[in-house]
A = this chain, B = another copy of it.
Amino acid sequence: MKLKVQPIRIKTGKYKIVLNSEDAKELGVRGGDRVQLKNHRYLTAIVETGDMIDIGTVGVYQECCEKLGKECPLTLELIPTSKPSSVSYIKKIMDREKLTQEEVFQIVQDIVRDTLTDIEMTAFVTSTYIHGLSADEIEWLTKAMIDTGEKIEFETHPIMDKHSIGGVPGNKISLLVVPIVAANGLLIPKTSSRAITGAAGTADLMEVLAPVEFTADEIKSITEKVGGIIAWGGATNIAPADDKLIHAEYPLSIDPHCQLLASIMAKKGAVGADSVVIDIPVGQGTKVPTIQEGKKLARELIELGERLGMNVECAMTYGASPVGRTIGPIIEVREALKVLETMEGPNSLIEKSTALAGILLEMGGVAIKGRGKELAMETLRSGKALSKLREIIEAQGGNPDVTYKDLIPGKHKGEISSPADGYVIEFDNKRIVEIARLAGAPIDKGAGVWINRKKGELVRKGEPLITIYSEKDWKLNNALKSAQKDNPIIVEGMLLERVKGLSVI
């Protein structure tokens, strides 16, 4: 069927065209079917139907227009064609049939190439969420995720890497772990993410100090030059399938277990990591509520590492409470830098960072077994970690002379104070993150929450429980209102009063 072309200057993220419903019927296609654009053999487009397009006309979205050349042709001939074979493989997952390596690869490749519709992608994430995948399939999924993106190959080895499962707020430890490891002569090309539902991802944090968007080649050369980097993975083409999958997972608030495993290990595999430490925060409010589940996850990660030729160690960490006392880009970085500069700061941050760095130092063979943490602590105390971080900041294009005192949070500030004397007996991580986000984090770097009292600590009536920072007064107001309405921190006295039915905040 030959149709007049009407370019539509909108990007849809896919190769899409739109037909009048009558033309679609005549052609025998429905929304979601595919057509081949004749004389453009390489180009298969997804069909949408709508009444805004005249009969005899095909609306061609931006991506298709661009692919067709500088100028969209005046007419196009459309030939119905079959769906990508990966759609039938996704159907197999729905029907709980096992896939071959080839089939898994095909699905991942079609995801990366944007040839699947939202409906097809969602069927994939929903059915893997429900049925899971076998260990073989997860291995193939990971390999496919690696092979459909850019890979970094270092000439020297070992390459170290670190990952945190997430779910615990204020987890700024990479800012300490990476320089400690690099200061001991090991290479650690750390790619990291921005917060999606959190208040600050490691990439959001590092961006306070230096640019974080680099190509795979730049990541390699910076790492070779100064020993480490903290880059935003999303700016590279490393394991790009993951970001595409999030498009369908985020709206459903799901993170299929098999994809969690594959996406972590694919990112490590793609940068050529030999040894990886994985931080598994355990406890209420994290992704791993119990020690049992933490152990199971650890075994799965270690096994997947073996299959991929990577040496993996997992560290279960206390995740029920934030790491340190800060949540939000600038105040988190300030807290981390202060530790590097003065060794003053929260014990939870120092302990966790040196413990994980210590494991990497042992895995990399620069500390003898059982003495890694000691070496990490010494690297921190001696100022070597700070110098290394400054080298990394400079190599990434930031100001190496920055000190923690330069990092000033948003100028709008408000407190939530305790209505009673008592101990903090309840502390809601998720609410704290929500409040930091309402205050503007992670986009407004100066926004965040300072935690004055953590779980188990004593507070007097009228003393602050949390301090909220914001760059904009209206965002501060939203955050304060939300915090007052549904207080994230419960002090013992408060709860007793509630039980007695006397006064409620």
Contact = CB atoms under 8 A, between A and B. Distances in A.
Given A25-B443, A28-B437, A52-B11, A126 B117 contact: no
Interface stretch (A221-229, A243-251, A414-422): A243-251
Nearest to A25: B443
A26 interface: yes
A10 B8 contact: yes
A254 B91 contact: yes
Contacts of A90: 252
A131 interface: yes
A196 B30 CA distance: 9
Interface string A78-103: 00000100010011001000000000
A118 to B, nearest CB: 4
A52 B9 contact: yes
B91 A252 contact: yes
A132 to B, nearest CB: 12
Contact of A443 (B26, B32, B126): B26
B130 A251 contact: no
Contacts of A18: 10
A33 B65 CA distance: 28
Interface in A107-128: 117-123, 126-127
A129 B250 contact: no
Contacts of A11: 50-52
A31 interface: yes
A353 interface: no
A13 to B, nearest CB: 8
A120 B346 CA distance: 42
B248 A119 contact: yes
Interface residues of A, number: 46
A119 B122 contact: yes
Contacts of A9: 52
A253 interface: yes
Contacts of A252: 87, 90-91, 94, 119-120, 123
Nearest to A59: B10
A250 B30 contact: yes
Copies of the polypeptide in the assembly: 2
Contacts of A429: none
Contacts of A120: 251-252
A25 B441 CA distance: 10
Nearest to A129: B94
Interface string A17-38: 0100000011010111100000
A62 interface: yes
A200 to B, nearest CB: 13
A10 B60 CA distance: 12
Contacts of A121: 119
Nearest to A127: B126
Contact of A119 (B52, B130, B251, B437): B251
B50 A10 contact: yes
Contacts of A253: 91
Interface string A31-55: 1110000000000000000111000
Contacts of A254: 91, 94
A251 B117 contact: yes
Nearest to A246: B30
Given A52-B62, A248-B119, A443 B10 contact: no
Contacts of A83: 251
A481 to B, nearest CB: 14
Q: Give 8 closest A-B pairs by Cβ, nearest first.
A: A32-B251, A122-B122, A126-B126, A118-B118, A119-B122, A11-B50, A119-B251, A25-B443
Given A25-B443, A118-B122, 19 more contacts: A10-B10, A13-B50, A30-B250, A33-B251, A52-B62, A87-B252, A91-B252, A91-B253, A94-B129, A94-B130, A117-B118, A117-B251, A122-B122, A123-B126, A123-B252, A126-B127, A126-B130, A130-B130, A130-B131
18 contacts: A9-B52, A10-B10, A28-B443, A30-B196, A30-B250, A31-B251, A32-B251, A52-B62, A83-B251, A91-B252, A118-B122, A119-B119, A119-B122, A119-B251, A119-B252, A120-B251, A126-B127, A126-B130
